[in-house]
Amino acid sequence: MDRKRELQTAGILLIGLLFLLYIHYFKGSIEGLYNTNNHLSYHVLLELVAISIAFAIALQGWMYFTYTMSRYRLFIGALFFSIALIDILHVLSYNGMPYFIMENSVERPTYFWLVSRYLLAVGLFIILMQKDRAIERQYRSYVFLLSFLSVLVVAFLVYRWGDLLPVLVIEGSGVTPLKKGLEYLVSFIFFCLIIVLIGQYRKHKQASHLMLIIGVGFSLLGEILFTFYQSVHDIDNFLGHIYKLVGYYFLMKALYSSTIEEPYIKRNEMRAALINSERKLNTLIQTVPNGIIISDSKGIIQYANNAVETMLGYKKYVMLNKSIHETNGHVQQIDAQLFPYYVNYYQVMNPNHDDRFYLFTRRDGEKVYLSINSTNLVEDGKLKNTIYSLSDITDLMKAQDKINHLPILMS
């Protein structure tokens, strides 16, 4: 199964890479099929889907934190919360969109884009490099509030001094060397993150790590596409957003896998192992020579093995759901008055044993001597079950009786 998943991961990434190379080398023939007049609508649609996925990841982190108390889950949720908000600002400030706070331009959405990508790359790298641990519930509100405040700071800086920031895109000419350098740097961070994830996958063999590798891999390929475009409305820009969307999807799938799917699979595996253990234990109990009876806290018989039927002469279905104190056989406890020699012998041989000895009349009228030992199972200070172990000591009693009468015969 692991090998199959690894091949699927490599195949998906290879398809993404080959598609990027195909688009790049045959760009001239493909551009004629792409109508740039629709780019703005496509851009809004793709970003809205990506924003929805980011908010879904954030909401998952917020809700599941109360159950896991995982710092890993909380920080990833807060990270995607801030990314979703930055992406909203990217969409609203995109060139061609209606007036929002001030006239839209090419530079402001580009800076919002870079902030979003660096948040994703650096944030995931830092979170995944740290060891997960449990933290208190109160930190959830603080962490998400900090994410929201950081977005407000970024929005203020970009809108207030965005015109003073270095130019990143020259419409019609393409991206500037600074923009390419920033895109290559974030691509390098994504690449390092993939190396880290591969190491973690080799250590833990979790399917969620493979999903993360695919998500980060498509994010890396998308960043490479954003070093090619000549205009914010051309096909490279459009495909870059598609790769971003695919990356978000696999990141969400990875978190779903680690939060829901993998625990569910582990629970089923534990359940199957428990059933198998119960089956083995039941087989063992059914084959031991001792009789085993289990009663609940009220003394109602819940279980009896095959040896009990042989010893008592009653079928199990007759005994089940009846009180351990209600028996169809005539029971008499052996005491020192009736069996003085046996009791003395037993006390000498087993002074610390607390078994009870009974003379039991079977259903067919035959009398058998039983040694019955009981053990209470206590949970949270309350009696849950009592386990009775029955041993047929009839032959031992008869042999002991002969030994006890031997001096009398010799005299």
Q: Which helix (H) or strand (E) element contains residue 364? A: none
Query: Residues 189, 113: one domain?
Result: yes
Listed ranges 82-86, 340-344, 368-372; the one with the highest mean pLDDT: 82-86
Report the predicted TM-score, pTM, of the whole model to 2 decimal places: 0.68
Mean pLDDT for the chain overall: 80
Among 31-45, 135-149, 349-363, 395-409, whose mean pLDDT is lowest? Answer: 349-363
Residue 281 lies in a domain: no
pLDDT reading at 95 higher than 80: no
16 vs 395, higher pLDDT: 16
Q: What is the CATH number of the domain that holds 389?
A: 3.30.450.20
Here the tokens at position 194 are 């993939």
pLDDT band at 392 (very low <50, low <70, confident <90, very high): confident
Of 211, 243, 273, which residue sits at a domain end?
273
Query: Residues 262, 293: one domain?
Result: no
pLDDT digits (tens, 9 = 90+) for 241-261: 899 999 999 998 888 777 766
Query: Residues 245, 302: one domain?
Result: no
83 vs 362, higher pLDDT: 83
For helices 207-225 and 2-25, the axis angle rounded to 10 degrees is 10
Q: Compute the distance between CA of residue 13 and CA of residue 3 in angstroms, rounded to an integer.
A: 16
Give me the number of domains the chain comprises: 2
In this prediction, residue 339 carries a pLDDT of 33
pLDDT band at 341 (very low <50, low <70, confident <90, very high): very low
**Residue among 91, 119, 98, 94 nearest 107 (CA):** 94
Q: In what order do the strands lie in the sheet with 382-392?
A: 301-304, 291-296, 382-392, 367-379, 356-361, 331-333
- DSSP category for residue 289: S
Query: Residues 176, 322: one domain?
Result: no
Of 242, 273, 304, which residue sits at a domain end?
273
pLDDT digits (tens, 9 = 90+) for 265-294: 677 778 877 888 778 877 777 777 888 888
pLDDT reading at 402 higher than 90: no
pLDDT band at 26 (very low <50, low <70, confident <90, very high): confident
Beta bridge partners, 373, equal: 389
Query: Residues 93, 163: one domain?
Result: yes
pLDDT digits (tens, 9 = 90+) for 98-141: 877 777 777 888 899 999 999 999 999 999 888 878 788 888 88
Query: Residues 47, 160: one domain?
Result: yes
In this prediction, residue 32 carries a pLDDT of 61
- Residue listed under structure tokens 């993404």: 16
In this prediction, residue 194 carries a pLDDT of 93
Residue 211 lies in a domain: yes
Query: Residues 257, 363: one domain?
Result: no
pLDDT band at 319 (very low <50, low <70, confident <90, very high): confident
In this prediction, residue 280 carries a pLDDT of 80
Q: Are 36 and 234 in contact (CB under 8 A)?
A: yes
**Residue among 116, 126, 27, 133 nearest 73 (CA):** 133
Q: What is the CATH number of the domain that holds 57?
A: 1.20.1070
Q: Could you list the residue range(s) of the whole structural domain that residue 309 is in? A: 288-410
Residue 280 lies in a domain: no
